[in-house]
Chain A
Amino acid sequence: MLALLFILFGAMAIGCALAMVAQRHPLYSAISLIGVFISLACLYVMLAAPFIAAVQVIVYAGAIMVLVVFVIMLLNVEQEEHRRPRLKFLLPVAVAVAAILIAEVAFILVSVQQESRVAASSSVSDVGVTQSVGEALFTRYLLPFEITSILLLMAIVGAMTLARRGGLIPRGDQARRD
């Protein structure tokens, strides 16, 4: 039963990923990417990590991709043109990067299989549960967590500065200075 579901969601993820790369229209690619995220979330649920699955859907499928779809719709991006000559070098680079990625995954698989002990301290089932994630974030990984939040804050302030045409000085003041 579980194996069957795993094959189903795995095939869905791979199929959507392939479709994302193969599609010429940006909106179709975006929809395929959403499909990938949702099938990945299903896989997380099967791996007994419901919190990670929920966050995957909320953050990636529910927030980031909505923004991407919104921008594609707003700019009304048309179908991508075939074979732009200025990107000739792209294919070999892509092949090389893909080869490196596959090699990394293979290496991880092999090393995990050689090291037969499974999850030294905690039992496997509570890795992706809300409480364990929260405890890990606020004790062991507190510093990286805080640094990430400061980074995000900087990104928000930066976005606001860019969005306001005259910088952070109010428009009235600037007019007076000019």
Chain B
Amino acid sequence: MDSQTAIDIALKFAAITVAFVVVLLIVAYTVLAERRVLGFIQGRLGPNRVGYGGMLQPFADLLKFILKEDIVPDKSTRFVYFLAPIIATMAALMTMIVYPFGPDTRIPFTDISIPLVISRFDVGLLYVLGVTSVGVYGIALAGWSSNNKYSLMGGLRSAAQMISYELALGLSLIGVILLAGTLDLAQIVEMQSGWHGFRWFIFFHPLGFVIYLIAAIAETNRVPFDLPEAETELVAGFHTEYSAMKFALFFLAEYINMFTVSMLATTLFLGGWNVPFAEDLFGRGSFLFGLVSVIGFLLKVIFFLFLYIWLRGTLPRFRFDQLMNFGWRILLPFALLSIFITATIIFLFPNLF
């Protein structure tokens, strides 16, 4: 191994570490934002005592999670019980490396230009889908290994739900792949940079966007699709028996998943880091352009995160048969229809794109 590869590998490790820390910070404040926004929606205050306006609340919670007693149920299946939260968190974190969060940017006062993406490869989108589909094992195995009927019901529900909605989710992305002609996420974002940075795929493929949004909420087990952990029916579903840091890992995985599906929605449908007219103002490759793009990307992602919280504050939960009917009888046919429409338009007007 020569020194150049060693430096490359070290740089990648550093980039991944920084990305993980940033993601964990964003996730921590998403939790706080959720509690404050839900408080606002429900006409109460939410946590506002620790630090200025509750800004230190996530760290206080983390400390509490670490200090709590870690209870392992007597008749649980030990190995799987320990494995499940690890799978859930790892699968959630692993997709982080392929999202491009900014364009190629020159570092100020130098000529070095760096791409603002940790890793780009030919099948970035498939990688995301593959890793996400492994995440379901975390929940299913947690439900099974707890040796608790509520947990088992939660795990079963989650497996059934994920299988059903993964189909619609995957199909809703095919239109974007047809439009972009590639699976590389960085290239998909590049394709959307025309029309002064406003040539977003949502305008060509709106039905797919709506289907993706709904299916993504179901994939992350959020309200109104949070049947695996419905507290009124299943106590807390698959994580009833989990306590302390293991519970925190599941909690973390859920919010990281929220973050990643928001990033995917931004990347595929809302133009990724493309900010309208930013290129005309600052010029491609300049540092300011990079900065504005990254901020634009983050704002779009935060919009989706807010949407999630908003939905949680307003919508009631589905019944399980409604969930299945909706997924198979409405979402799936409409996803197929959206592929058909987009493919037909591309075939009839190839010059439009």
Contacts and interface: CB of A to CB of B under 8 A. Distances in A.
Contacts of B302: none
A41 to B, nearest CB: 8
Interface string B135-174: 0110011011000000010011001101100100000000
A1 interface: yes
B265 to A, nearest CB: 19
Interface stretch (A54-62, A107-115, A138-146): A54-62
Given A57-B133, A57-B134, A70 B156 contact: yes
B53 to A, nearest CB: 41
Contacts of B152: 73, 76
Contact of A70 (B80, B122, B133, B140): B140
Given A62-B133, A130-B122, 12 more contacts: A27-B80, A31-B80, A38-B134, A54-B126, A61-B130, A62-B166, A63-B133, A66-B163, A69-B141, A69-B159, A73-B152, A73-B156
A130 B177 CA distance: 12
A50 B121 contact: yes
Closest 7 CB pairs of A and B: A62-B133, A54-B126, A57-B130, A70-B159, A58-B130, A54-B123, A50-B123
A35 to B, nearest CB: 11
Contacts of A66: 133, 136-137, 140, 159, 162-163
Contacts of B134: 34, 38, 57, 61-62
Nearest to A4: B1
A51 B133 contact: no
Interface string A47-87: 00011011101100111001101100110100000000000
Contacts of A31: 80, 83, 137, 141
Contacts of B130: 41, 54, 57-58, 61-62
B126 A51 contact: yes
A51 B130 CA distance: 11
Main secondary structure of the interface of B (DSSP, over half): helix
Interface string B172-187: 0000000000010000
A38 B135 CA distance: 13
B80 A67 contact: no
Contact of B133 (A27, A61, A74): A61
Contacts of B126: 51, 54-55, 58, 130
A117 B13 CA distance: 38
Interface residues of B, number: 29
Contacts of B122: 50-51, 129-130
Interface string A4-32: 00000000000000000000000110010
Given A34-B137, A130-B122, A70 B131 contact: no
Contacts of B141: 31, 69
Given A31-B141, A66-B163, A73-B155, A1 B1 contact: yes
A53 B129 CA distance: 12
Is the contact region of chain A dominated by helix, strand, or loop, or is it mixed?
helix
27 contacts: A28-B80, A31-B80, A41-B130, A50-B123, A54-B123, A54-B129, A55-B126, A57-B130, A57-B131, A58-B129, A58-B130, A61-B134, A62-B130, A62-B136, A63-B163, A66-B133, A66-B136, A66-B162, A66-B163, A69-B140, A69-B144, A70-B159, A70-B160, A73-B155, A73-B159, A76-B152, A129-B122
B127 interface: yes
Interface of A: 1, 27-28, 31, 34, 38, 41, 50-51, 53-55, 57-58, 61-63, 66-67, 69-70, 73-74, 76, 129-130
Contacts of A70: 140, 156, 159-160, 163
B232 interface: no
Contacts of A73: 140, 143-144, 152, 155-156, 159
B123 A27 contact: no
B322 interface: no
B5 interface: yes
Contacts of A69: 137, 140-141, 144, 159
B301 to A, nearest CB: 24
Contacts of B123: 50-51, 53-54, 130
Interface in B103-137: 121-123, 126-127, 129-131, 133-134, 136-137
A49 to B, nearest CB: 10
A129 B124 CA distance: 12
Interface in B272-323: none
Contacts of B1: 1
A61 B130 CA distance: 8
B220 to A, nearest CB: 16
Contacts of A55: 126
Contacts of B159: 66, 69-70, 73
Nearest to B143: A73
